[in-house]
């Protein structure tokens, strides 16, 4: 059995989740870790048993025994790192959002289209069995069409410094919104035709050119509509609405951590209301941690069996394109068409 050599660049919140997944997957071997933050990277290297570590990733990715690189840095560094990794002949799993702005996103796509190695963008919900099951039910007509899609993800920042760093790169509508634009397109099989939104800069520390609370509304080509509300900040409440309403029913996902303490061990809850039958089903979906393991397994099968990315690069790109338009709509206070 070949063991793939892997390097992780960016060892913060997501980097650590990728490292956990690597430590559980016997077909990969952690070779190196890199992070600007020297204390952080040396700690992580000893925690996960990396053979080498450093503050500059370049020396690590040149090694012949490195096959895969996971990029979990801030969005504005994704393009440059991806470029270097692909030039060194490595397969890459890059965290979403693909890049920090429109120009970089287009360049990233050009690079990915011409790559001889595999490129996967970390749209983790595509590898989450709860979302996979719900999207299948919806696509098979469980609640009919068109849909009203109500999505929110607000959280009090546990690590405000990290959120501030992300905010300097992209707004939460772009950073987090790409996941949920992808979910809306996945649920309906339709494309987004227009976006609008509002944003608020709640605190002085938030850079003046951005906002830390945002809400976008979207119209889809099948007549469905949706909104996504998000925000980061010390004082924001936890709010996780994931609800799909159709003419024939309603499906809601309740995350494990939002369930009463006594039943959290049952995983996520999917509540399916069928108006035609007059029933409400409650389905427990096995869930423990963000599925970086399932995503890594898929990344390995892409490499071993020459499979396409999930989501396809074109879908990751489209989600990013719409998120950037939503961001512009928020700044300019106008509704923007999302022509392809």
User: Which residues would be at the binding site for ligand NAD (CB under 6 A)?
Assistant: 9-15, 34-37, 40, 72-75, 77, 95-96, 122, 124, 162, 165, 175, 290
d(CA 214, CA 237): 14
Question: Which of 255, 250, 249, 17 is CA-nearest to residue 152?
Answer: 255
Cβ proximity to ligand NAD: between 72 and 326 the closer is 72
Cβ proximity to ligand NAD: between 75 and 246 the closer is 75
| In the complex, least distance from residue 199 CB atom to ligand NAD, rounded to whole angstroms | 17
Cβ proximity to ligand NAD: between 127 and 250 the closer is 127
| In the complex, least distance from residue 100 CB atom to ligand NAD, rounded to whole angstroms | 9
Q: Are 229 and 180 in contact (CB under 8 A)?
A: no
d(CA 132, CA 287): 13
> What are the phi and psi torsion angles at 265 (to 5°)?
-65, -15
Cβ proximity to ligand NAD: between 77 and 196 the closer is 77
| In the complex, least distance from residue 39 CB atom to ligand NAD, rounded to whole angstroms | 10
Q: Are 267 and 287 in contact (CB under 8 A)?
A: yes
Cβ proximity to ligand NAD: between 100 and 246 the closer is 100
| In the complex, least distance from residue 295 CB atom to ligand NAD, rounded to whole angstroms | 9
Residue 215, phi-psi category: left (phi > 0), alpha (psi -120 to 50), beta (remainder) = beta
| In the complex, least distance from residue 74 CB atom to ligand NAD, rounded to whole angstroms | 5
52 Cβ contact partners less than 8 Å away, ≥ 6 residues apart: 31, 32, 45, 60
Cβ proximity to ligand NAD: between 222 and 239 the closer is 239
DSSP state of 236: P
Determine if the peptide bond prior to 252 is cis (ω within 30°): no
| In the complex, least distance from residue 37 CB atom to ligand NAD, rounded to whole angstroms | 4
| In the complex, least distance from residue 97 CB atom to ligand NAD, rounded to whole angstroms | 6
- What residue number has its CB nearest to ligand NAD? 12
Cβ proximity to ligand NAD: between 73 and 130 the closer is 73
Dihedral (CA of 290, 292, 293, 298) sign: positive
Helix (H/G/I), strand (E/B), else coil: 234: coil
Write the CA distances from 64 to 23, 59, 89, 237, integer angstroms: 21, 11, 9, 47
């Amino acid at each position: 059995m070949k063991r793939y050599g892997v390097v992780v660049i960016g060892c913060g919140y997501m980097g650590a989740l990728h490292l956990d997944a690597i430590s559980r997957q016997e077909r990969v071997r952690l070779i190196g870790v890199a992070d600007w933050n020297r204390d952080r990277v040396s700690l992580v290297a000893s925690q996960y048993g990396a053979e080498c570590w450093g503050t500059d990733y370049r020396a690590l990715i040149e090694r012949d025994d490195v096959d895969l690189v996971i990029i979990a840095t801030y969005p504005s560094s994704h393009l440059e790192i991806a470029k270097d990794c692909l030039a060194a002949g490595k397969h890459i799993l890059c965290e979403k959002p693909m890049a920090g702005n429109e120009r970089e996103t287009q360049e990233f796509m050009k690079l990915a289209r011409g790559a001889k190695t595999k490129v996967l963008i970390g749209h983790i919900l595509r590898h989450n069995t709860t979302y996979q099951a719900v999207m299948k039910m919806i696509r098979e007509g469980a609640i009919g069409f068109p849909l009203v899609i109500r999505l929110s993800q607000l959280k009090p920042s546990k690590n405000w410094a990290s959120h501030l760093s992300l905010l300097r790169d992209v707004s939460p509508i772009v950073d987090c919104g790409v996941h949920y634009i992808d979910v809306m397109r996945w649920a309906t099989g339709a494309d987004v035709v227009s976006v609008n939104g509002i944003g608020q800069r709640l605190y002085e520390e938030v850079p003046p050119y951005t906002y830390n609370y945002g809400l976008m509304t979207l119209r889809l080509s099948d007549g469905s509509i949706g909104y996504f509300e998000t925000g980061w900040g010390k004082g924001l409440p936890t709010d996780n609405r994931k609800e799909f309403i159709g003419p024939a029913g309603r499906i809601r996902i309740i995350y494990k951590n939002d369930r009463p303490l006594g039943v959290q061990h049952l995983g996520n809850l999917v509540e399916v209301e069928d108006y035609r039958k007059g029933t409400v089903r409650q389905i427990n979906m096995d869930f423990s941690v963000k599925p970086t393991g399932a995503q890594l397994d898929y990344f390995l099968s892409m490499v071993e069996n020459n499979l396409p990315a999930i989501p396809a690069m074109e879908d990751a790109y489209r989600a990013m394109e719409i998120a950037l338009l939503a961001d512009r709509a928020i700044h300019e206070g106008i509704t923007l068409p999302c022509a392809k």
